[in-house]
Amino acid sequence: MAKSAPARRPRRPAPELQFGDLWPYDPAPETADPRIRPAYGLFIGGRFVEAESGERFDSINPANERKLTELARGGPVDVDAACRAAAAAFPRWSRLPGAERGKYLFRLARLLQDRAREFAVAETMDNGKPIRETRDFDVPSAAAHFFYHAGWADKLAYLAPGRTVAPLGVVGQVIPWNFPLLMLAWKIAPALAAGNCVVLKPASLTPLTAVKLAELLQEAELPPGVVNIVTGPGATGAHLLAHPLVRKVAFTGSTEVGKVILRSVAGAGKRLTMELGGKAANIVFADAPLDQAVEGIVNGIFFNQGQVCCAGSRLLVQESVAERVVAQLRRRLQVLRVGDPLDKNTDLGAIVSREQRDVIRGYLRAGVAEGAELWQAPFRAPARGFYVAPAVFTGVTQSHRIAREEIFGPVLSVLTFRTVEEAVEKANNTPYGLSAGVWTDKGSLILRLATELRAGVVWANTFNKFDPTSPFGGYKESGFGREGGRHGLLDYCAVT
Amino acid sequence: MPRLPVTKTPKPYVGGAFIRSESGRTRPLHDAAGTFLAHVPLCTRKDLRNAVEAAAKAGPGWARRTAYNRGQILYRLAEMLEARRAEFAAALVRFGARRAAALREVDAATDRLVHYAGWADKYEQLLGGVNPVAGPYFNFTVTEPMGVVGVLAPAAPALLGLISLTAPVIVSGNTAVVLASEPQPYPAILLGELLATSDLPGGVVNLLTGTRADLLPTFATHAHLRGLSAVADAAERRTLDLGAAESVKRVRYTPDAPLATWLGDAAQGLEPIRAFTEAKTTWHPIGA
C-alpha cells in the first residue's frame, strides 16, 4: 500500500525580528580582580629582578589606552643572566625522574585553574580580546596544555620506540601578542616535560600574564632557573634566540620576523620550531550546511578580532551560493557586538595596539584602492581604545594585497570558484600553508580536499579548533615543527 | 692485437634521462692510481633548476603511488644493486677503497634500501595517529611528503652516504635532487644507470655531478626545494641556513662520519623519514 505523503506547507522564509538598537544590552562587565601589581621585574633564577639598565616600559590596556602596569625592560645582559640561570638549572632538572617533573607541571595546571578568572581578566585588559574568549578559551586551554604535557614527562621513551630520547638543554622562546598566555603554555609545557630549561620572552605589547605566571611558578615551587621570563622589546628576543647557550629556538610570530631569526641563527646548529604567518582559505561548497558555514566563517575570521595566524581570512565560496552566503554573513555581522572587551556580551574587543589598528586600516584602504568592495558592520566606536568594525571585501581577486598578505585583523576577503579544482588551486596559491577550512556535506569531497590542501591543519565543517593533543603547525612559509601532541613534544627532544 | 675497450661517457641521470651539463663543462676524473677514466660533467645552477623542475613534475605521481608500491620499487632497487654488487665494489676499489671495505659498503647500501623499502607502509602508523581531543571531533594526523628535497651527499662513503640520505627522502613520496660526492662522482653515475633500468619513475631521483661551491648556494635558495638533507661543513651549513631562511626551508644535517658510522644501525630509521614529511591534522565534527 502506498504511503500518503504528509501534507506540505509552502515554504516561507522564517520570520526575522530585527530590533536594531531599540533595546540595547545592559553592560555586563566581568568584575574579578586581575591582581595587577604596579610594576614587575624580570623573572630570573626564581626571583623577580630589575633590568640591568634599570629601565622600564608601560603596558597599556588597548580598550581604553590606560596604563596597566610597568615592566622591566630586559636587554642583552639580562638575557645572558637568564640563559646562565637556565643552563645552571638544566643538569638537575633534566635528571629529575620524569614522574617528578610531571608533578610540577600538574601543579602548574591546577594553580592556573585556581586563578583562572583572575588570569582571564588580566589577559583581556592587556590584550583587548573579549573576556568571553579569555575565560572560555585562552586560560582553560593554557591549563589543559600543562595538564596534557605533565603526563608525558615520565613516558618520553614511548615517543620514539627503539631510540633514545633526551632533552636538548636551554630553550629560547619568543611568543606573540595574540594569545599571550596560551602561546606561553604551548611553549613552556612541552619544553619542561621533555626536561629542558626555558628562557621566554613575551611580546612587548602583552607581557602581563607571563609575569603573572611567574608568580604561579613560585607557588608551584618550580626549581629556580628552570623557567626564566625576560620582558622587553623585540631586540631582546633576537638576543635571546641568538644566545650561544640556547640550543633550541621556538618562535611564534610573523613570517617576516621568522626569516630574520632564521638568518640570525644560520650555521649555529640550533634546533628550530617556527610557527609563522598564514592566509587560510575557508572553502564553502554549495552543498554545505550554510547556516553552520556562516557561523564558521564568522568564527574563522573574527575570533580574537582576526588577530590569529590561522584565521580564515580568504573565504572561497562556490559561485552558485556566493550571493546568499554574503547576504547571510552581513546579517550575522550586524548583530556582532564590538566594544568593551570586559563585557561578557562582547563578541569583538579591541585591537591590540594603535599601530596594529593603523595597519588594518591601511589594508582597508588598500582593498578599496585596488577595486574590491568594502562592507563594514555599523558600529559606534568607544571614545578611547583601538577598534575596527568587522569588514568584508567582495569582488576580491587573487592578486589583491588583501587576498595575499596576512592582515591580522577582522577583515575577510571573499573570492568565488566554480569547480573543486579551482578551489584547490586558489586555496594553495599562497606561500603560506598553516590552515584551511572546508564546508561541504560530501564526505569524499572533504577527504579529497583534506589531501590536496597544502596546510598543516584542515578544519572540515568547523574552524579554529585547538587541542593540546592535536599537532598544530604549517607547511611552506608558515613555518616548520609542530606544537601539541606527540609531534610537538618530539620537537623538544634529541632522538638518537 | 688486443681489443680496444669501449670507454663510457659518464652522464648524470636527471628526469629519467641521461644528460650532459648544459654548460658543456667537465672535469677529468682520475682513479686512485692516477689513471684517466673519463670526463665528468660539472653541472651548473641551470642544470640544478632543470632537475628541480623534473623532480616537481614527477612528484604528484610518485606521492600518489600506494605505500606498498613505493616499498616494492625501493626493494627492486636493492635487488638490482645486489645483482651489480661486483661492479659497484670494483668502482669503489678503483677510487681507493680496500676491497673488503668496498664490499661492505655496497652490501650496506643494498641493505639500507631494503630497510627503507620496509618502512614505506609502516612509518605512517608510527608518525600519524588519531588525537583524543577534548570535544566531539574526529581528529587525526597524517604525514605527507614535502615535495622536492635537495640532497647533498657526503664526499665519502660515496655510495652508501648518497643512498642513506636519499632513500628516506623518497620513501614517503618526496622527489629528490641529489648532488653526488664531489671527489668521487663515479658511483652516482653507476647508480643512475641502475635507476634508469629500475621501476623508479623518471624524475623521482635526479643525480647531479659537479662542485659543491658552484651548486650549494642554489640548493640553499631555490624556493621549490622544500627541504635539504645534507652532510656539510660549518661554512656550508651557514650558506645553506642563510639561503633556506628565504623560503623557510626545512634543513637536516647528518654529521660527516667514517664508513663504520654509516654502516651502523643508527644511520637509518624513522627519524630521517620524519624529517622530510609534513604532519597534517584534520578536524571533523562527530554527529549528525
DSSP one-letter string for A196-235 = -EEEEE--TT--HHHHHHHHHHHHTTPPTTSEEE----HH
**Cα–Cα distances in Å, from B28 out to B4, B31, B40, B183?**
20, 10, 6, 11
Residue A234 burial (10 A CB sphere; 0-12, 13-18, 19+): middle
Residue A13: inside a domain: no
Distance CA A365, CA A377 (A): 16
Which residue numbers of B have CB closer than 8 Å to A's CBs?
A: 126-127, 129, 131-135, 137, 139, 141, 146, 226, 234-235, 237-238, 241-242, 244-248, 250, 253, 266, 269-271, 274, 278-285
Angle at CA of residue A109, ends A108 and A114, nearest 5°? 95
Residue B70: inside a domain: yes
- Are A121 and A30 in contact by the 8 Å Cβ rule? The answer is yes
Ramachandran angles phi, psi of A107, nearest 5°: -60, -45
* pLDDT (tens digit per residue) in A397-445: 999 999 999 999 999 999 999 999 999 999 999 999 999 999 999 999 9
Judgement on whether residues A242 and A322 belong to the same structural domain of the protein: no
Residue A332: inside a domain: yes
Q: What is the mean pLDDT of residues B170-198?
A: 97
Distance CA A232, CA A52 (A): 12
More confident residue, A100 or A382: A100
CA-based nearest distance B179→chain A, Å: 20
Residue B8: which of B37, B46, B48, B51 has the closest Cα? B37
CA-based nearest distance B197→chain A, Å: 31
Residues 6 or more apart in contact with residue B178 via CB below 8 angstroms: B150, B151, B152, B153, B162, B165, B166, B188, B205, B206, B207, B208
What's the domain range around B248?
A: 13-285
* pLDDT (tens digit per residue) in B244-273: 999 999 999 999 999 999 999 999 999 999
Residue A399: inside a domain: yes
* pLDDT (tens digit per residue) in A465-487: 999 999 999 999 999 999 999 99
**Cα–Cα distances in Å, from A154 out to A19, A190, A408, B68?**
57, 12, 39, 35
What's the domain range around A167?
A: 39-276+475-495
**Substitution target from A159, A425, A469, A482 for chain B, most B beta carbons within 10 A:** A469
Q: Is the pLDDT of residue A3 over 60?
A: no
Residue B78: inside a domain: yes
Predicted ipTM of the assembly: 0.93
Percent of residues, chain A, with pLDDT higher than 70: 96
**pLDDT band with cut points at 50, 70 and 90 for residue A11:** low
Q: What is the mean pLDDT of residues A217-229?
A: 98
Judgement on whether residues A149 and A216 belong to the same structural domain of the protein: yes
Judgement on whether residues A387 and A253 belong to the same structural domain of the protein: no
Q: What is the model's pTM?
A: 0.94
Residue B273: inside a domain: yes
Judgement on whether residues A427 and A292 belong to the same structural domain of the protein: yes
Residue A466: inside a domain: no
Q: Do A469 and B132 touch (CB under 8 A)?
A: yes
- The mean predicted confidence, pLDDT, of chain B is 97
- The mean predicted confidence, pLDDT, of chain A is 95
Q: The domain spanning residue B149 has which CATH number? A: 3.40.605.10
Q: Do B245 and A456 touch (CB under 8 A)?
A: no
Q: Is A309 considered catalytic here?
A: yes
**pLDDT band with cut points at 50, 70 and 90 for residue A381:** confident
Residue A31: inside a domain: no
Domain count, chain A: 2
* pLDDT (tens digit per residue) in B45-75: 999 999 999 999 999 999 999 999 999 999 9
Residue B3: inside a domain: no
Judgement on whether residues A298 and A360 belong to the same structural domain of the protein: yes
What pLDDT shows up at residue A13? 64
Judgement on whether residues A320 and A269 belong to the same structural domain of the protein: no
More confident residue, A21 or A261: A261
List the beta strands (DSSP E) in B82-221.
Answer: 129-130, 137-145, 148-152, 175-179, 205-208
Q: What is the mean pLDDT of residues B208-215?
A: 97
What pLDDT shows up at residue A1? 46
Residue B6: inside a domain: no
Residues 6 or more apart in contact with residue B268 via CB below 8 angstroms: B112, B115, B116, B164, B168
Residue B228: inside a domain: yes
What cell was used for A234?
623585540
Q: The domain spanning residue A356 has which CATH number? A: 3.40.309.10
What pLDDT shows up at residue A162? 87
- Which one of A30, A123, A133, A309 is the catalytic residue? A309
Residue A10: inside a domain: no
Q: What is the mean pLDDT of residues B143-157?
A: 98
Residue B7: inside a domain: no
- Chain B residue numbers with beta carbons less than 8 Å from the beta carbon of A487 are 127, 141, 279
Judgement on whether residues A255 and A298 belong to the same structural domain of the protein: no
Judgement on whether residues A261 and A315 belong to the same structural domain of the protein: no
Q: Is A310 considered catalytic here?
A: no
Q: Is the pLDDT of residue A10 over 80?
A: no
Domain count, chain B: 1
Q: What is the mean pLDDT of residues A8-35?
A: 77
Closest residue in chain B to residue A260, using alpha carbons only: B245
Q: Do B250 and A475 touch (CB under 8 A)?
A: no
Ramachandran angles phi, psi of A405, nearest 5°: -100, 150
Judgement on whether residues A337 and A219 belong to the same structural domain of the protein: no
Residue A14: inside a domain: no
- Chain A residue numbers with beta carbons less than 8 Å from the beta carbon of B242 are 263, 266-267
- Are B39 and B27 in contact by the 8 Å Cβ rule? The answer is yes
Judgement on whether residues A179 and A54 belong to the same structural domain of the protein: yes
CA-based nearest distance A52→chain B, Å: 32
Residue A4: inside a domain: no
Judgement on whether residues A248 and A303 belong to the same structural domain of the protein: no
Residue B150: inside a domain: yes
3-state secondary structure of A446: helix
